[in-house]
Amino acid sequence: MSKTETINTETTEMATTISGRVDMYTDGACKGNPGPGGWGVLLQYGEHRRELCGGEANTTNNRMELLAVIEGLAALTRRCEIHVHTDSQYVQKGISEWIQGWKRRGWRTAAGQPVKNQDLWQRLDASVAGQNIVWHWVKGHAGHPGNEAADRLANQGVPSGQVA
């Protein structure tokens, strides 16, 4: 997986010095499904912004949506109130509604099928443990500045030569 980081703040220490509220905007992109894809994250703390992106040559949109949140959470090194904004109902409902049932059933869906992307769901589950997170679903491609920035980053993360 490739990963790049762009920091648009006066300091590169934002992730280690924050407390309070961080708004995290996440998105995934994929050219073909499966196909080359990217993930993007915008972290905002007051006037500070941190942008992250990366991608994989052969993936799915849902994997990139999940990876965006995982990578965004991994970038934070101090406890804070985190507001995650995603345009993926798969991610938002998965983490807030479905995951407890999947775990009770041994990572099986209500229909008894294996949960897709179990590896990433388990990583996300571990990442959110002990965190103070508020999940927000936002409509994609509707002009929301944070979501539009995350979408741009996700497309930037698609491996070279590919555009999602």
pLDDT in tens, 51-82: 999 999 999 999 999 999 999 999 998 889 99
pLDDT at 151: 97
Is the confidence at residue 163, as pLDDT, over 80?
no
- Euclidean distance between CA atoms 131 and 82, whole angstroms: 8
Give the pair of three-digit tokens for residue 61. 């949109």
| Average pLDDT for 85-106 | 97
Residue 33 forms part of a structural domain: yes
Query: pLDDT tier at 4 (50, 70, 90 boundaries)?
Result: very low
- Euclidean distance between CA atoms 32 and 43, whole angstroms: 27
Give the pair of three-digit tokens for residue 75. 């970038």
Residue 79 forms part of a structural domain: yes
pLDDT at 46: 87
Q: What is the DSSP letter of 114?
A: B
For CA atoms 105, 109, 113, 119, the dihedral sign is negative
Residue 68 forms part of a structural domain: yes
Could you tell me if 86 and 128 are in contact, meaning their C-beta atoms sit under 8 angstroms apart?
A: no
Which has the closest alpha carbon to 59: 74, 42, 39, 78? 39
Residue 162 forms part of a structural domain: no
Residue 6 forms part of a structural domain: yes
Domains in the chain, number: 1
* CATH number of the domain that residue 41 is part of: 3.30.420.10
- Euclidean distance between CA atoms 72 and 70, whole angstroms: 5
pLDDT at 13: 41
Give the pair of three-digit tokens for residue 30. 């994929």
Q: Which residue has the tokens 């905002």?
A: 44
Could you tell me if 37 and 158 are in contact, meaning their C-beta atoms sit under 8 angstroms apart?
A: yes
3-state helix, strand, coil in the chain (%, to 5): 35, 30, 30
Residue 164 forms part of a structural domain: no
Residue 163 forms part of a structural domain: no
Question: Domain limits at 123?
Answer: 2-157
Any idea which residues carry the catalytic annotation?
Answer: 27-28, 65, 87, 141, 151
